[in-house]
Amino acid sequence: MAGVTIEYEGSPARASQLAQLLEDEGTKVRYRAPHETRGAGEVAAHVVMTAADGITAAVALAAVQKVIAKVKGAHVKVRDGDQEWDEWSP
C-alpha cells in the first residue's frame, strides 16, 4: 500500500507547518519546501507531500484541518489509494 498523498495550495509557511504536524504523528513526509518570502502578500504555494506508510487518511485529515483553520483560501486534497477528500479553508 502506498502512502497518503497530500496536495496543498495556500500559504507557504503553512505548508511547512502541515509537514511538521504529520511528522509529529510519527510519519516521514517527503516534499519540496516552498520558498517563503516575508511581505509577499497573498502568494500561494502548491506543494505535494507524500506521507510514508503507517499514517491513516484520518490522521492526515486531522492535521490538514488544524492548518487550514488558520489560513484563508487554502485548498488541500488528501488521497489514500482510490479515496480522495477535498478540504477548503473558510
- What are the tens digits of pLDDT across the range 26-60? 888 898 888 766 665 566 788 888 887 778 888 88
pTM of the model: 0.79
Residue 55 lies in a domain: no
Residue 69 lies in a domain: yes
Q: Do the beta carbons of residue 28 and residue 51 sit within 8 Å? A: yes
Residue 22 lies in a domain: yes
d(CA 88, CA 30): 22
Residue 27 lies in a domain: yes
Q: 28 is in which domain, residue-wise?
A: 10-32+60-90
Domain count, the chain: 1
Residue 2 lies in a domain: no
